[in-house]
Amino acid sequence: MDFDAIVIGSGFGGAITACRLAQKGQKVLILERGREWDKASYPRAVEDDWIWSHSHPEKYHGWLDLRVFKGMSVALGAGVGGGSLIYANISRVPPPTIFANGWPAEIKFSELAPYYATVGKMLNVQKVPANQWNPRMKLMREAATKLNDLNRFETLDLAVTFDKDLQYDFDQEPDISKSTMVPNEFGVLQGKCVHLGECDIGCRVYAKNTLDKNYIPSAVKKGAKVWPLHFVVNIEQIDGGYCVHFDRLADGDRIPGKATATRVIVAAGSLGSTELLLRCRDVTHSLPRLSSQLGKRWSSNGDFLTPALHILRSLWSDRGPTIASAINYLDGSQNGKVFWVQDGGIPNVLNKYFEAVSDRLQKAPNEPSWLETLAPHVILQHLALFSESHDLFRHIMPWFAQGVDAGDGELMLTDGSLDLKWDLSASLGLFNEIAAKHKQLAESTGGIPIPLPGWALDKELITPHPLGGCNMGATSADGVVDHKGEVFDYPNLFVADGAIIPRPLGVNPSRTIGALAERIAALIAV
Ligand SMILES: Cc1cc2nc3c(=O)[nH]c(=O)nc-3n(C[C@H](O)[C@H](O)[C@H](O)COP(=O)(O)OP(=O)(O)OC[C@H]3O[C@@H](n4cnc5c(N)ncnc54)[C@H](O)[C@@H]3O)c2cc1C
């Protein structure tokens, strides 16, 4: 065998299992489809590599993988560090009630508690210092007070390094020079948060405690190899282990290759792992005994967004950590629906994008060929010019939420491509309840809610928190993997990411994915 363990994907599931297996002395290889990113390469300009293309990954292997299905789109990160590169850093342990049903008997809140603690420590989670609350956090607290729900207001644990001595006035542009880089406890250079509002597009001061700043370097220190731009296309069972087939993405080409290992950990995320295993079962037939449950019980984790215009307030939704506080209705007190509301931020991406469009328009106003690549360019052009003169995001509050949806989606292959069967009916009550709460909260603080056109006109949703597809279960009749993440009927083949979470969590999932990955790695005897 080339390696003791091959880990596919380098997000929460992959980085954590790779790190722990390397620390157990295993010879580990991480295969990651995306590239390594740093502040010199984060996408900013219109022509930068924003998008991951499924039809031509050899040419377009950008930062964001946006998958559009009927009724539901899914946003994912692509790169060494997976979703941590692009995420809003919320690291939340769900309430114990979430473990009351839907899990194998072994997975209990008390069982996961030590693993939750370990992940929190590794990601150095902390809250925004009291002297740096942004205007959206204050608006959240005010809205909770107006609704008599102040006891439900909470500030969130974020995987961000803050500087408690920083003085920052949100009416000023953030000052990048106020952050200095020092080595973190893993020996990697990181700065502290100066509220750039760049959490979702790559933090230029490295204040985010992303996986490439902790777990991955710890794995590398113990000898793990990381091969970026290696897109795994098949897993084959061989004597004593598995052969992993990949395409290396180089110079605009897909160059086939393979590597073998005794143990394989699939950690390509809810969509990535499920798609890969569906292909192995139904297209290449290399893993034909995978459970019939594969793809089933997929959840959007109840994500919902209502932007509101608070014209008389300066909210600066594009400054500060993307999200930093919540109003907690996870107790089911709102007509039985389980959810929480968060202060969404508008990642500085849109601002930057509009700035870049506007810049380009001024430099080359009559460049139709370039404009035509932007669809619908006329709207974009107007938005860009409007945002330049009106501080578009100063008065916008993106009221955000997650909740417990019906968890009844199904991932499948249609004509060889990943597809999602998403039926809104059983989850509609949750989304309506959240929309009503968003309206109440916005209006109680002088805001005008503006439901997203996709939802208002066509009940279209988008989630950054896909869960399930290779669910944990007691047997292969009700799951794809067991409580240890091991695939039924395939010893030493594991899934260790958001795909194994068998039900919606109602809160941001990365901490739970991390805790499960820690547990999976801890239970692997080497
Ligand atoms: C904009 C945004 C904001 C978010 N904010 C938060 C937040 O604040 N808190 C929170 O808890 N969660 C947040 N999330 C969700 C969080 O990022 C995910 O839940 C988490 O990253 C999932 O971890 P994972 O290990 O399952 O998969 P991922 O982190 O997605 O990692 C999977 C990795 O596998 C790679 N991969 C996929 N297919 C292949 C293949 N065939 N071959 C090789 N590699 C492959 C991918 O490139 C990726 O790097 C956010 C997500 C987005 C998009």
Ligand 1 site-directed mutation target among 74, 87, 226, most atoms within 8 Å of CB: 87
Sign of CA dihedral 331, 499, 278, 83: positive
**What percent of the chain has pLDDT above 70?**
91
**Atom 46, ligand 1: which residue's CA is nearest?**
78
Q: Per-residue pLDDT tens for 126-166?
A: 999 999 999 999 999 999 999 999 999 999 999 999 999 99
**Atom 39, ligand 1: which residue's CA is nearest?**
268
Ligand 1 environment, Cβ below 6 A: 8-14, 31-34, 75-79, 82-84, 86-90, 200, 231-232, 267-270, 272, 276, 323, 464-465, 497-498, 508-510, 513
**Residues linked to residue 157 through DSSP beta bridges, in sequence order:** none
Residues counted in the chain: 526
Using the 8-state DSSP alphabet, how is residue 34 labeled? S
- Residue that has been written with the tokens 């924003």 in this structure: 50
Residue 502 to residues 99, 145, 310, 463, Cα–Cα distance (Å)? 10, 35, 38, 17
Q: Per-residue pLDDT tens for 407-427?
A: 999 999 999 999 999 999 999
From 185, 159, 182, select the one nearest 83 (Cα to Cα): 159
Dihedral over alpha carbons 51, 56, 57, 63 (to 10 degrees): 0
CB 294 within 8 A of CB 470: yes
Give 82 Cα–ligand 1 centroid separation in angstroms. 5
Task: At 461, give phi and psi (nearest 5°).
Answer: -125, 165
**Residues linked to residue 35 through DSSP beta bridges, in sequence order:** none
**Atom 31, ligand 1: which residue's CA is nearest?**
11
Given a cut of 70, is residue 227 above it in pLDDT? yes
Give 69 Cα–ligand 1 centroid separation in angstroms. 18
Q: What b/e readout covers 201-224, taking b as 16+ CB neighbours within 10 angstroms?
A: bbbbbbbbbbbbbbbbbbbbebeb
pLDDT value of residue 47 = 76
CA distance 23 to 237: 26
More confidently predicted of 49 and 141: 141
- Residue that has been written with the tokens 């547990």 in this structure: 519
pLDDT value of residue 85 = 97
Give 466 Cα–ligand 1 centroid separation in angstroms. 9
pLDDT value of residue 358 = 63
CB 39 within 8 A of CB 208: no
Residue 370 banded pLDDT, cuts 50, 70, 90 = very low
**Atom 17, ligand 1: which residue's CA is nearest?**
83
Given a cut of 70, is residue 235 above it in pLDDT? yes
For the chain, the average pLDDT equals 93
CA distance 499 to 504: 11
Q: What does pTM read for this prediction?
A: 0.95
Q: How many Cα atoms sit within 13 Å of 85 on the Cβ side?
A: 29
Residue 189 to residues 163, 186, 192, 443, Cα–Cα distance (Å)? 15, 9, 10, 44
Using the 8-state DSSP alphabet, how is residue 156 labeled? P
pLDDT value of residue 356 = 65
- Residue that has been written with the tokens 């009550």 in this structure: 429
Give 58 Cα–ligand 1 centroid separation in angstroms. 20
Give 513 Cα–ligand 1 centroid separation in angstroms. 10
CA distance 160 to 87: 11
Give 86 Cα–ligand 1 centroid separation in angstroms. 8
Instruction: Indicate the fold that domain 3-230+257-354+381-523 takes in CATH.
Output: FAD/NAD(P)-binding domain (3.50.50)
Please state which of the ranges 335-349, 377-391, 465-479 shows the lowest mean pLDDT: 377-391
Give 21 Cα–ligand 1 centroid separation in angstroms. 20
CA distance 431 to 418: 25
CA distance 128 to 156: 8
Q: Per-residue pLDDT tens for 26-36?
A: 999 999 999 99
Give 70 Cα–ligand 1 centroid separation in angstroms. 21
Residue 375 banded pLDDT, cuts 50, 70, 90 = very low
Ligand 1 site-directed mutation target among 31, 36, 462, 510, most atoms within 8 Å of CB: 510
pLDDT value of residue 378 = 56
Give 510 Cα–ligand 1 centroid separation in angstroms. 8
487: left (phi over 0), alpha (psi -120 to 50) or beta: beta
Ligand 1 site-directed mutation target among 33, 264, 278, most atoms within 8 Å of CB: 33
Cα 228 to chain centroid distance, Å, stands at: 19
Give 13 Cα–ligand 1 centroid separation in angstroms. 9
CA distance 206 to 193: 8
Q: Per-residue pLDDT tens for 447-492?
A: 999 999 899 999 999 999 999 999 999 999 999 999 999 999 999 9
Q: In what order do the strands lie in the sheet with 304-309?
A: 153-155, 325-334, 337-343, 396-403, 304-309, 448-449
CA distance 419 to 298: 12
Give 79 Cα–ligand 1 centroid separation in angstroms. 9
Residue 456 to residues 305, 337, 432, 434, 451, Cα–Cα distance (Å)? 12, 21, 11, 14, 6
CB 393 within 8 A of CB 317: yes
From 122, 97, 96, select the one nearest 110 (Cα to Cα): 96
Dihedral over alpha carbons 372, 86, 325, 340 (to 10 degrees): 80
CB 219 within 8 A of CB 18: yes
Strand boundaries in 267-366, DSSP class E? 304-309, 325-334, 337-343
Give 77 Cα–ligand 1 centroid separation in angstroms. 5
| DSSP letter string, 456-470 | HHH--EEES--B-SS
Q: Per-residue pLDDT tens for 239-293?
A: 999 999 999 999 899 999 999 999 999 999 999 999 999 999 999 999 999 999 9
Ligand 1 site-directed mutation target among 248, 350, 508, most atoms within 8 Å of CB: 508
CA distance 322 to 45: 20
CA distance 153 to 329: 10
Ligand 1 site-directed mutation target among 17, 76, 233, most atoms within 8 Å of CB: 76
**Residues linked to residue 76 through DSSP beta bridges, in sequence order:** 65
Atom of ligand 1 nearest to the CA of 158: 8
Ligand 1 site-directed mutation target among 275, 465, 495, most atoms within 8 Å of CB: 465
Q: Is the peptide bond before 376 cis (omega within 30 degrees of 0)?
A: yes
Atom of ligand 1 nearest to the CA of 498: 26
**What percent of the chain has pLDDT above 90?**
86
CA distance 393 to 319: 9
Atom of ligand 1 nearest to the CA of 510: 11
From 140, 228, 159, select the one nearest 199 (Cα to Cα): 159
Given a cut of 70, is residue 377 above it in pLDDT? no
Give 145 Cα–ligand 1 centroid separation in angstroms. 34
Atom of ligand 1 nearest to the CA of 233: 41
Residue 384 banded pLDDT, cuts 50, 70, 90 = low
pLDDT value of residue 371 = 47
CB 421 within 8 A of CB 341: no
